[in-house]
Structure 1
Amino acid sequence: MDTADATVGPTAPLTFRAATEADVAALVALIESAYRGDAGRAGWTTEADILDGQRTDAEGVSAVVRDEDSRMMVVERGGELIACCQLENRGEHACFGMFAVRPELQGGGLGRVILAEAERLAGTEWGVGEMHMTVISVREELIAWYGRRGYARTGKMTPFPYGDPRCGVPRRPGLAFELLVKVLD
């Protein structure tokens, strides 16, 4: 298992590691808290105003943990789970997703550090030249945040899977995912 440490301001070091099956329940709870319901409103990345229902489930997270071409990265501080993200090796590029930071810790620079570590890992361990991600196109503030970190909007849209409750239950029509791309150094 790979680990790396980083410090965010005066706080304790962060530890990065690959998730195991033992982490699945805690990861699902973290992801759900960051994206759905009132708990997510403590942070700024919530999708509660545009989607109801689940963001993920144990089956989906477990599949990522078991997939040889994916890595669910666990981020801990002092042994406590505070964030996670998924990386998927697609050969020439990696895909970034399931990014969650505990809502009460959002806005303090953790996301920037975690994203940089994910990019470093994808570039050095997998040798990929680009990171790809999709973001719900109406999430302008989130897209702008990624833009400040070097991600370019491509204009390539994928329709939201209306009718598939595994992806959430839309509260409005016209949702789509936009592909964002960053060339890795």
Structure 2
Amino acid sequence: MITTATLEDVLSLEKLINSAYRGETSKQGWTTEANLLSGKRITLDELEQIIKNKNNTILKYTKNNQIIGSVLLVNKKSKLYLGMLTVSPELQNSGIGKILLKEAEVHAFSLGLPKIVMTVISIRKELIEWYKRHGYEDTGIREPFLLNDTDAIISKEPLEFIVLEKIL
């Protein structure tokens, strides 16, 4: 079941997102950043601020009263920004990510937004290809990778973001 996350979900979301992106547990899935970055992907405070912002929506995918997937959607007035698409590492490749992407499109339509944009670390080739198979295209735009307080780069390759978009 997909519903909108609330402040009561912050603890579960923080655990899920960090387990899918960083650390040893993330290596169970194919979307890990553990070989690129160390530190937390997100903090409890950051999640609280995201949820409190009226332009943001976090959709959560719940099964058996447990959050096993989520996605951040940000209303940018002329487009919807999609970020932190997360699926529990042991459940990746089960279709949950695809379902959350479709739900993001429904959300964009409900807001009258004509496209969805996202940023992906440019050396994440397999992830970029997955998004391309779901209709996202490389815009040619690159953005710098800026560290937050909890990140540490461990990649030998330079990091930057590639901007992908899907016209709806």
* Aligned twin of 1:53: 39
State the Cα RMSD in Å. Answer: 1.0
Match of 1:178 among 150, 162, 167: 162
One-letter code aligned to 2:61? V
Counterpart secondary structure, 1:60: helix
* Aligned twin of 1:169: 152
Report Cα offsets for 1:37-80 as digits up to 9, x if no partner.
11001110000001111101011111111111110111101222
Give the unaligned 5+ runs of structure 1: 1-14
Give the unaligned 5+ runs of structure 2: none
- After TM superposition, the runs of 4+ consecutive aligned structure 1 residues lying more than 3 A away are none
> Normalising by the residue count of structure 1, what TM-score does the alignment of the two structures yield?
0.87
* Aligned twin of 1:9: none
**What does 1:4-23 align with in structure 2 at a 5 Å threshold?**
15-23=1-9
**What does 1:33-72 align with in structure 2 at a 5 Å threshold?**
33-72=19-58
Partner Cα separation in structure 1 for residue 154 and residue 51 of structure 2: 30
Report Cα offsets for 1:148-184 as digits up to 9, x if no partner.
000001121111114x334x21112410011100001
* Aligned twin of 2:93: 107
> Normalising by the residue count of structure 2, what TM-score does the alignment of the two structures yield?
0.96
Partner Cα separation in structure 2 for residue 151 and residue 69 of structure 1: 22
Q: Is the 8 A contact 1:54 1:165 kept in 2?
A: no
